[in-house]
Amino acid sequence: MSYSVYLKISGKKYKLPVNPEEIKKTQKLSIEKYQVLKSGQVSVPKFPELWTYEFSCELPHQEVHYMESGSRADPDRYIRAITKAQRKKKPVQLIYSNGETDDESVKVLIESCTITEKAGEEGDKYLSLSFVQYKAPSKKYVAVVTPAATVAQPQTPQPANPAVEQGKTYTVQEGDTLWKIAKQFYGNGSQYPKIVSANSDKIKNPNLIYPGQTFSIPS
């Protein structure tokens, strides 16, 4: 039973000189996890992710008896073609066959390419490759990238306080803090020192204000 692995790059077919011992093919299910009060963590399946493929192979620099017929003992030829396709972000065709019915031919992107040279094997190179199934976006759909940063929600306008004389004074209510008052008038609680400065005769400790106190609100 024959077994061969090829990479078709820019219309040219490259047969690997030595077959990988194994080809790992993986598909994962995207799952989101949520914490639910009283129920603990729950998982919600979203969508199947793209297939990934991984294998390692030897690239001899001279003819050896275990090389595949029709391949070449030229490591740099393979490496140039593979790294060029990766650099240009071009999909390639991964083809492998055991000569029977379960042939695989899939368009992929080269995700990673690791080249290893071993002492005592001058000229030979070992290649480890990982691929991700290539799926071009449809004209009807646009990929949506969710930013990692939290998007600030618009602030709900606070109702006007009946104790406020617009732009002039404010009478402290139960539960008020200087930060809260500054945020109401300036939109930013860190501006509270303005109120402290304008009412230094009434505010001895910014952490202690009392209901019923009336403060001037500077512009």
pLDDT digits (tens, 9 = 90+) for 181-202: 889 888 998 888 999 999 989 8
| 70 close to 15: Cβ distance less than 8 angstroms | yes
Verify that 116 and 175 share a domain, yes or no: no
- Would you state the pLDDT for residue 103? 77
Residues 49 and 115 occupy one common structural domain: yes
Residue ranges of E strands in the chain = 4-9, 12-15, 24-26, 29-36, 40-48, 52-59, 92-97, 104-116, 125-133, 164-165, 169-171, 214-216
Structure tokens at 175: 């539960």
- What's the confidence (pLDDT) of residue 14? 95
Count how many domains the chain has.
2
Burial class for 89, CB neighbours closer than 10 Å (0-12, 13-18, 19+): exposed
Q: Say whether both 102 and 170 belong to one domain.
A: no
Question: What band does 205 get if pLDDT is binned at 50, 70 and 90?
Answer: confident
Question: Could you tell me the CATH number of the domain that includes residue 188?
Answer: 3.10.350.10
Domain of residue 62: give its range: 4-133
Q: Residue 209 has what pLDDT?
A: 87
**CATH number of residue 66's parent domain:** 2.40.30
Q: Which of the four pLDDT bands, split at 50, 70 and 90, describes residue 34?
A: confident
Reported as half-sphere exposure (CB side, CA atoms, 13 A), residue 207 has a value of 0
Mean pLDDT of 208-212: 88
- Total residue length of the chain: 219
Whole-model pTM: value is 0.60
Q: Are residues 207 and 126 in the same domain?
A: no
Q: 64 and 111 in one domain? A: yes
**pLDDT above 50 (res 149):** no
Asked if 109 and 212 sit in the same domain, the reply is no
Name the burial class of residue 71, with classes exposed (0-12), middle (13-18) and buried (19+) by CB atoms within 10 angstroms of its CB: buried
Two structure tokens written together for 199:
């009412």
DSSP output for 29-64 = EEEEEEEETTTEEEEEEEEEPPPEEEEEEEE-SS--
Whether residues 128 and 179 share a domain: the answer is: no
In a shared domain, residues 23 and 95: yes
The arithmetic mean of pLDDT across residues 153-165, rounded, is: 47
Rounded Cα–Cα distance for residues 60 and 29 (Å): 38
Q: Which residue has the higher pLDDT, 160 or 73?
A: 73
β-strand partners of 42: 34
Q: Is residue 98 part of a domain?
A: yes
| Three-class DSSP category at 130 | strand
Query: Are 95 and 31 part of one and the same domain?
Result: yes
Q: What is the mean pLDDT of residues 70-81?
A: 94
- The per-residue b/e assignment along 130-154, b for 16 or more CB within 10 angstroms, e otherwise, is bbbbbeeeeeeeeeeeeeeeeeeee
